[in-house]
Each structure stands twice: as C-alpha cells, then as structure tokens.
Structure 1
Amino acid sequence: MKWFDYRFISAVQATELFYETYIHLYREAFRRNFDAGTATLKRAVPARGLWGNPGEFSAAWRARQVADGFGMPYDFFIRECMEAAFRRGITRVPRPNQLYNLLSMPHLQERWEERRRALPLFSELPQYRVGAFCGLPAQIEHQQWVIDSLKARHARPFAIAQACFVDRLFTFDRAKAEFDPYVVEQMLSEAAGMKADPPPALRATNFLPSCFGLPHACSPSISPCIECHVREECRTAEAKVREKVAQRYGNEKPRDEEKLALNRERVARHRAKKALARTGMSSSGSS
C-alpha cells in the first residue's frame, strides 16, 4: 500500500526517512507560521533523536504506518497534516503522534486526489524503469499508476513520450495498447531527439521488498507472500530474526510481554488498593 519510493527499503529505513522529513518540515512550518528568524535553530525533536527512547520511536513508527496506509509520500503527508492542524487552531507545530488526527483525514485524501490530478507523480527509483522490470507486484502497480495518471490528466503526447522514452516507465508496446492511435502517432512525433539516461547497475538486494525478514510478517501460503519472488529467502531470514530477538529478550514478542507485565502490575496495584480499603473499613467498623 505504501508509496512506491518506499517499497524497496526496510521498515526501519522508512521510519528514519519519515523522521528526517518531519524535522525538515517542522522547521519549514515554524518559519512560515511563527518566526522565520529562529526556525533554523529549532531542533524539532528530542536531543537524542529517533532512538533516544522507545516512545519517540513508536510515535514516528506509527505515524509512518499511517502515511503508508494512505499510500502517500511522506513529505506530502506530513505537510498536509501540519496545515490541517493549523486550520483547526493548533498553536504549536504538531508532533509525529499528533499528525494523524481523524478530523484531518477526509481533507487529506481530497488533497491527495487533487495532487494526483494536477501534476505528474511517479517514483524515480531505477527499480521501476523498463530495463529493470522483472514482473514484481510493485513494478506492475507502478506502471499502471503512471498510465492511469496520464489518462486522468489527459496528458499531452509530449508528456506521454517523456514518460515512455526518457523516463522509461513503460514500453512503447504498452503505450500502443493503452492510448489512442492518434495520440501514439503524436507521441512518436514528439519523441524525436528524446534520449534516456543509462540506468544504474542494480543488485539482487535492491529488489527485496520492504517487509523482507520482518518478524511474524512472512506468510508463505497466502497472498501477497505466495506471489513474492523471495518468499523462501524471506522465510529463512525471518526465522533467524525471531531467533535473535528471542536470544536477546527471552521472547519473540518482547513488546507484547512488556505490555502483559505492565498490565499485571496495574492489576496487582488495583487489588492492593482494594484490599487496603477493605482493611480500613474493617478497622473503622471495629472501633
């Protein structure tokens, strides 16, 4: 579901990218809405950063997940959420855990649709170029995204030629299958002199999906894992990761165990208070 730029990086790398983008846009929002002179001095986040404490990491992780759920680029998501917060009357730049306010979500989706219709929007990753195409779901979806976007914008033949012959986002055969013959003829005319830059060399690791090796994320017998080109390698890596986590924390799901322990402590404190209250009532009755 996530935006195409993030489908070949790990969840941790995506969270780090989201956090860096947030810091930049925090200062941008502070400069625009409060004080341009001191905006560059604003730290925007705690001094120890993303890895300073579990709460900070969890907040950024969750906000990044929400952006991924909408399939939006992080800069668009963060900027629009900040602007929506200011329109609601918020007097401070929102923190990561304050970005995804439910009141902002309908407007956020409307703005995203407007953005898609107004300007060309596609990933610049070399994994999506024709020369790197190997039938991955992300590649197929990206090609369809680009073509649907060109059609929705009633793109001129020049823009289609640019996408086909310079950016190399789809083949000429695909263009002939998707667009009107007259448009294709005009596209060929516009393409005179167009030349694509040579694609960079890619390794097999550049095509690993973002979920590769995540604990408990691999389900080889169901979709989308069943179609994945590295499902067996992922299953092996995921088992090793779970083993390492269990060795370090004594449990494959340390956060779940921590929550259970905290819940047990709360229940114990509650029972102790009730017992103390009963003891006090008994003492009062006796006296």
Structure 2
Amino acid sequence: MKTITPPTSLMRENELLRLATVIPHVYLRDEAALIGLKWPAYRFHSPMQLNLMFRDAYNDTCHSRRPYNSGEEGWVPIGGISPTLNFSKVSGQLTQLHVARQQADLLGMPYEDYIRFCFDFAERRVRKFIPRPNQLAPSPAARETWFAKLKTYWPDEVIWTRLLSTAGLESYDLRNDLGLPAQSRFRQQVLRLAQRQVTNNATFYGLAVLERRWLRPEDVVAVNPPVWEQARLSAETDDRGGGHIAAPHVPLTDMGQRQGCFGLPGVDASTDESCRACSARQACDMLRDDIIVRLREQHGCDDPVGEAKRLANRVRVRRHRAKNKDAAAPLLKVIPSPEPGA
C-alpha cells in the first residue's frame, strides 16, 4: 500500500472543502468518534487520504488473489476499484468506498488486514464473486460467525506485533504528546495490551517504554506493581547493557499535529465526546467555521451533496403524489340530456 505524504495547511483546507462537496455530511459526522478507534497510523491522516489508502489496499488484495475452486468456474476475478474513479466528483462508488473504509476504522485494523480477512471469509463461504467494498462487512445472518472468526484472526498478540512493525507512529512518542484524543486513546490501548501480557513483560516494557517512548514507566508499573516493577528492573538492566536503544526524537510539524477530523465539516463538536476532550478544539472549530463559510459562498449551503439529494427526493415525492392524484381522479363522463317527449 502506498504511503500518503502529509499535506500542507492550505492543501488540507482545500482537501476538506473538496471532501465536503463529494461526501454527504451524514457520513462525515462519525470521523471524530472514529479518531480513537482506527488503526493508530491512520489517526493523523484526513478522510480523503484514508479513502485513497483503502482503495490501494483493496486493489492490491484483489490483484494478489487467484480464482479458487468453488465449482466449475471458481472465484470470478475482478479488477478492483477503477483507477479512474474521480475523488473530486460525487458518485455512489466513492460513497461506498468511504463507508467501507469507516467499517475497517471501527474495528481498528490496518486496511490490508481487514480486507484480507473479509476475502478469506467470503472464500470459506464459497461465494462466486470477490466482495466489492460495500460487501466486505458481514451480513446480519453471518454477523455472529464473522466476529467469531475475526477474534481468532486478530488477537492481541497479532495487534502488538503489527504495532511494532508499523511505521509513522511518531505522534505517539511522549515527547510529542499534546493530550489529543488520538494519543490518549492509543496509550489506553497499549496499556490494555500490557494487562493482557501479549509478550514477555520485560520485553514489553523495554519496547513500549524505553525504545518507543509510548508509555511512562509509572503507567506500566501501576498495571500490577509487583509484576511490572520486576519487569522494569529487568528491562533497565538490559538497557544498560545496550539491549534497548531509545528511538530518535522526530518532532512533529504543524500538520503532523492535526488529527484526521481537524476542521472537518459535518462533525458536531458540541455533542461528540472526543471533541469535548480535545486540546485542539478551538483551532478546529475556527477552521470548520471557515470551511462552512466557503461552502455557503460557493454552494449556498453547508452540505451540498446532502442538500442535492434532499432536493431530488422532494422532486421525486412531488411527482409520485401528482401521479397518484391523477390516477385517483374520477373520469368525468358527459351524460346526454333526454330527448324532448321521451
């Protein structure tokens, strides 16, 4: 999957404006709630960047698959999402891609792992076609089985291994901590892995505290003081022998400090829990207000896609009612007058 280069401030503002004109706001409002759930490497990327990354992950998985034997024909291959899909134009395919990506974010999985699991599940179900993006999530009938398989596929030990192999987590270095919801939630998730003992305690302490600087020593020791105090001593003794070397400090740029939901139209900061606890809320609200002003100047409303859909629906309803009214109107028949003397 390709790595997306972080945009400049102006690029980010134009990207938010473009996103608000191609995706209905009803599908944007959840981005703030997802900020602490999605895979940590994605939390400081904008929704449009993540849509591109999801498309690439989906296409890479499609192209790596070969038809399997589900009868005479096997799995009918498809070419993935068209590279000509216009991300600057309203389309049902783009909206489906956006919603499918949010499903992966809700589960907190890297896109390639999520899509690979969904393809494997479809293969076991002996489906004829590779699932499209809007078919990746489980159906109501398969939901229980789907999540049971996911629990086996994505255990805590795998999550820990994937975290260690994931690049671009400088935002979670304690030296870059700004108290943002994405960072706070990440530390809670790593502490949960410590509680579940996904690896040797001394190794975990050495990696999460001494090397990556994701957690403070006192936070880890507080999980179970007798056990983790011994792990701390073992890790620090190993550290003095050169076992754990702290990663170099990579200061964040201004854009690197912005979460993916920063300034995003459609988000209700007054009701969203993540927004209420966000240290960047004031600057975020100011940017969102600026974007909304630009939307009103250019399109006459806050939600151009949603408003267009509502207008089309009103026209459709009026036509339907007019058609029914005409069909129900009685046919007027001219009754001839009786002949004189008849």
| TM-score (normalizing by structure 2) | 0.72
Farther off after superposition, 182-191 or 210-219:
182-191
1:205 corresponds in structure 2 to 255
The Cα offsets for residues 159-197 of structure 1, whole Å up to 9 and x where unpaired, read as: 331222222222333333335132223223333312123
**Given the alignment of the two structures, is residue 19 of structure 1 paired with residue 55 of structure 2, yes or no?**
yes
**Given the alignment of the two structures, is residue 165 of structure 1 paired with residue 210 of structure 2, yes or no?**
yes
The Cα offsets for residues 204-247 of structure 1, whole Å up to 9 and x where unpaired, read as: 32121211111131425763222212211111111111122222
1:84 corresponds in structure 2 to 121
Secondary structure, in 3 states, of the residue corresponding to 2:302? coil
**Given the alignment of the two structures, is residue 282 of structure 1 paired with residue 331 of structure 2, yes or no?**
yes
- Cα distance, 1:88–1:143 mapped onto 2, change above 3 Å: same
- Would the aligned equivalents of 2:175 and 2:249 in 1 still touch at CA under 8 Å? yes
2:317 corresponds in structure 1 to 267
- Cα distance, 1:21–1:262 mapped onto 2, change above 3 Å: same
- Cα distance, 1:222–1:261 mapped onto 2, change above 3 Å: closer
- Of 156, 159, 162, 1:117 maps to 156
Cα separation, 1, equivalents of 2:148 and 2:249? 35
2:46 corresponds in structure 1 to 10
Aligned Cα RMSD in Å?
Answer: 2.9
- Cα distance, 1:175–1:88 mapped onto 2, change above 3 Å: same
Structure number with higher relative contact order (C-alpha < 8 Å, ≥ 6 residues apart): 2
**Structure 1 residue 62: deviation in Å?**
0.7
| Paired residue type of 2:40 | F
- Would the aligned equivalents of 1:218 and 1:234 in 2 still touch at CA under 8 Å? no
Cα separation, 2, equivalents of 1:244 and 1:136? 27
- Cα distance, 1:104–1:70 mapped onto 2, change above 3 Å: farther
Farther off after superposition, 115-124 or 191-200:
115-124
Cα separation, 1, equivalents of 2:194 and 2:220? 11
| Paired residue type of 1:262 | A
Cα separation, 2, equivalents of 1:221 and 1:90? 42
**Given the alignment of the two structures, is residue 54 of structure 1 paired with residue 62 of structure 2, yes or no?**
no
- Of 100, 103, 106, 1:69 maps to 106
- Cα distance, 1:253–1:176 mapped onto 2, change above 3 Å: same
| TM-score (normalizing by structure 1) | 0.84
- Would the aligned equivalents of 1:85 and 1:104 in 2 still touch at CA under 8 Å? no
The Cα offsets for residues 231-279 of structure 1, whole Å up to 9 and x where unpaired, read as: 1111111111112222222221222222222222322332343345346
**Structure 1 residue 13: deviation in Å?**
1.3
Cα separation, 1, equivalents of 2:82 and 2:334? 53
Q: Percent of aligned positions with the same letter in both sequences? A: 26
**Structure 1 residue 284: deviation in Å?**
9.0
Instruction: Work out which of the two has the higher radius of gyration on C-alpha atoms and give 1 or 2.
Output: 2
Cα separation, 1, equivalents of 2:90 and 2:271? 36
Q: Which has the higher helix share?
A: 1
- Of 215, 232, 236, 1:184 maps to 232
1:230 corresponds in structure 2 to 280
Cα separation, 2, equivalents of 1:50 and 1:32? 28
1:239 corresponds in structure 2 to 289
1:97 corresponds in structure 2 to 134
Secondary structure, in 3 states, of the residue corresponding to 2:273? coil
* Number of residue pairs aligned between Structure 1 and Structure 2: 280
| Paired residue type of 1:165 | L
- Cα distance, 1:42–1:85 mapped onto 2, change above 3 Å: closer
Secondary structure, in 3 states, of the residue corresponding to 1:31? coil
| Paired residue type of 1:149 | L
| Paired residue type of 1:2 | K
Cα separation, 2, equivalents of 1:50 and 1:165? 45
- Would the aligned equivalents of 1:16 and 1:50 in 2 still touch at CA under 8 Å? no
| Paired residue type of 1:126 | E
Secondary structure, in 3 states, of the residue corresponding to 1:57? helix
**Given the alignment of the two structures, is residue 250 of structure 1 paired with residue 300 of structure 2, yes or no?**
yes
